[in-house]
Each structure stands twice: as structure tokens, then as C-alpha cells.
Homo-oligomer: A and B are copies of this chain.
Amino acid sequence: MSAQLLRHAVPRSTAARFALRTMSSSASAVAYPRPHLIPKSGTYPAGWVAGGLASGVKKDGLKDLTLVASPNHPITASAVFTQNSFAAAPVQVSKAIVKEAATVRALIVNSGCANACTGEQGTKDAWRMSREVDAALGGGGERGAASSTRPKTLVMSTGVIGQHLDMDKIVAGITQLTQNVGPAHDNWLSAAEGIMTTDTFPKLRSTVFEGDYRMAGWSKGAGMIHPNMATMLSAVFTDASITKPCLDAATRYAADRSFNAISIDGDTSTNDTFAVLANAATEGAAVIDDLESDAHRLFRDRLTQFAAELAKLIVRDGEGATKFVEIHVKGAKTFADARQVSSTIATSPLVKTALYGQDANWGRVVCAVGYSGVPVTPEKVNLHLSTPAIDEPLHLFKNGAPFDTDEEKAARILEHEDLKLEIGLGEGSEEATMYTTDLTHGYITINADYRS
């Protein structure tokens, strides 16, 4: 048990030890855990530059400021935001920009301070971050707190709630960062590092759709009991040429099938944001401008799959997690029913601690199905446990009663990191999938000590 605790505690302190303690935008020499999840190279969308550095907002000297810009091509932007009543200042600012501006300038993100519950000063600070980036990138916008021009750089923040940003550090960081962004893999990796909080590794992906366009993106977020309670940030950058209505539709569609599949409706942090930015820098490509076209459906599906990859990386890095768990509910009367049952299981602390203990405690799963609020017929309920590494699933619960509860078989499955619980309700043909983690000592350690 202490070994499992250490598995996650050590990388964090290792990261802190290796951290570059001066302001720097070079890709860090941090030795991350699970290096196989971090790309060593990538082909990035045309026209974009990225970077990240340590501005000093984070006390431990780790990177805390990230900029992605498209200096020569105006950006079409879409985003979905948290529904939390206490939506943070950067959320309000970015929401206004996405709504009002035809194109945006760039995206600036800081980590270490969420700029949430910070009142009027917080709103001013978020607008100033946007304005400072506009000015530093040149071509319009005045610097300083008092400008009257509406800036056009999107802003995201993540970290501790209720503290004001140290704007001196942020502004100095922005000045240096705008001079140190670039199009290379190392720049993008730095950008993915600058948004991390309790994440143990940077989450960066890039892909080329041959003959069409490219996408790059990063994500962050870690608290995985109720997935959306820790701030989830993600952005996807593409050189595709797409109109705002088409991008809006694709963004909403993708969010529902990626980040919302690791989330509980309404259960969101003050800062959650998923943004998609397109700069049309691909040469000679046709514009995606028809919601009913094959080109739009293709873009939408590609974005969905790409976003799902970024979402699953968040689950894989759930705070203290030792398991990656897919919860697939089928045979429901409606999608809403399937979603409610899968959410209930995915947020059951008793199910999650059992998975951590590698205990085939199907009783806790069935119990969660029973109190989900969805009417079920016990005699129709089935439960299978499986892992991709072993062909045959274990049929733990059959038609309302325990069935194949072979503890040895279960133990062989449960020792794997990737697990799948499949619940059949036998009431209809709708289904839903949620991704979650186990609940561990590591989670408690991380969250009991977060601010200290």
C-alpha cells in the first residue's frame, strides 16, 4: 500500500527537485513518471507558436504560464465553459471574447492561481492578462491596466481559489514568453507543462490528417472522484479552415462525447474550459462552412476522437489513481438512464476503493446500480469485469445473483491498470460509457496537503 502511495508521491517531488528554478521557456529536464504517455516528437499545425515558462506564481519554481498564438493568421475560436455559479474571472472574460470577437489573438493560461472568487480585482486582472498578450504580440492594444480597448486573447487560469494573481510576475512572464514561443515540439511540450497543477505529467497530443489539416492540443486536470471538481482545462489548435458556426457545433459535439464522458453534469469547478482554435493556415484547403457537409462531419468526428484522447489522459492521471476504469452501461431504456447509472458507479467511493484494493466486490457495484435512482429489475441485471490484457471477461453477476465469483480469476484481472466494468440492465437498447479511476491513499495525500 505504501508502495502505491509512493508511486505517485515520488514523481511529484522528483519533478520539484529537477525543476528549473529560474524563469525559463525551454522544455524542462523534469523526469516524469509514465514517460510512455508523453510524446517525444510531433507534427504541429501550421502557423501556430507555443511556449511555457515559470513566472514565479508557483512557489516551487515549476512552469506556470503558457501561451499559444498564431501571429500571422487570425483565429476562429469556440469554447465550452463551466456551469458553476462561481465561474472564475478568466471564464467570464473568455466567454465575453468568444461571444463578441469575430477572431481572437491568442490563448494565455496561468497555473498555480485560479483567479476565482476574486471579485472586481480578479476580473480586472483577467482582462489585463488578455490585454498584455495582445500588446506584447504587437499590432494593436495598449498595455497597462487602464486601457479602454477590448483585448482579444483568451484567458484560462487554474490553481488555488480566492487568491489574487501576482500581476507583476504575470506581466513580466508574458513579456518574456511572447519572445520565446516557437513552432517546435519542445515549445509545445513547454506549453503543456505550463498548465499543470497536480498533474504528474504533461498531456500533449498532435496528429496529421493527411491531405487535410493538423491538430495539436493539451489538457490538464486531476481530481477524479467527481471528475469535474478539479479544474479541467483543454485546448485544441488546428490549421483547418472552418467558419465559426461550424466550429461551435463541432466543439459542443466533441465536448459532450469526450470531457463530459469523464464528468458529472453540473458538477463542475469554477474554471473548467475546453477551447478549440482554428487559424486556417493550411494552404489552399477548402473552407468547412456547411453544417450538413461531409467535410464538417469528418472534422467533428476527428475533433471528437482527438478530444477523447486528451480527456482519457486526464483520467489516466487522476489524483493518486492506480487504475483506469471504463464503466459501460448497456440495455438502458434511455441514454439519460444509462448515463445516470454509469455516473453513479463512477462516483461511488466504495466501488473505487474496492478497485484500489483489487477486490472483486461486485456487491458495491450492484448496490450503486440499485441506488442510482434509475428503476431496475434486479433479475435482469448482469455485471462483467474485464481487462484488455485478458480475453475472457468474468461474469460476476448474472440475472440478479452472483455467478462466476472465482476470486483467483478476478485477482488476475484486477492486477492490471486498465479495467472495464460492463453493466447490463436488460431494460432497453441505450448505452453510455464513463471513464474514471480508483480512490486511493495517494488521492487523500494530494488533496489533504494541496495548499501546504
Contacts and interface: CB of A to CB of B under 8 A. Distances in A.
A444 B380 CA distance: 32
A126 to B, nearest CB: 15
A367 interface: yes
Contact of A349 (B226, B371, B449): B226
The quantity of this chain's copies bound in the complex is 2
B364 A161 contact: yes
Given A86-B370, A162-B363, A364-B161, A444 B356 contact: yes
Interface residues of A, number: 66
A367 B84 contact: yes
Q: Max chain B CB contacts within 10 Å: which of A117, A376, A400?
A: A117
A451 B359 contact: yes
Given A86-B370, A366-B161, A405-B162, A452 B349 contact: no
Interface stretch (A19-27, A47-55, A104-112, A262-270): A262-270
Nearest to A444: B441
Contacts of A266: 371, 373
Interface in A366-388: 366-371, 373, 375-378
A402 B162 contact: yes
Nearest to A122: B401
A161 B117 contact: no
A14 interface: no
Interface in A347-373: 348-350, 353-354, 356-357, 359, 361-364, 366-371, 373
A118 interface: yes
Nearest to A87: B370
A350 B444 contact: no
A399 to B, nearest CB: 9
Interface string A251-290: 0000000000000001111100000000000000000000
Given A226-B349, A359-B450, A375-B85, A366 B444 contact: no
24 contacts: A1-B445, A84-B370, A85-B375, A85-B378, A86-B370, A117-B363, A117-B378, A117-B402, A119-B401, A161-B363, A161-B364, A162-B366, A223-B350, A228-B371, A229-B368, A229-B371, A349-B349, A353-B443, A353-B444, A353-B447, A354-B450, A361-B451, A440-B444, A443-B444
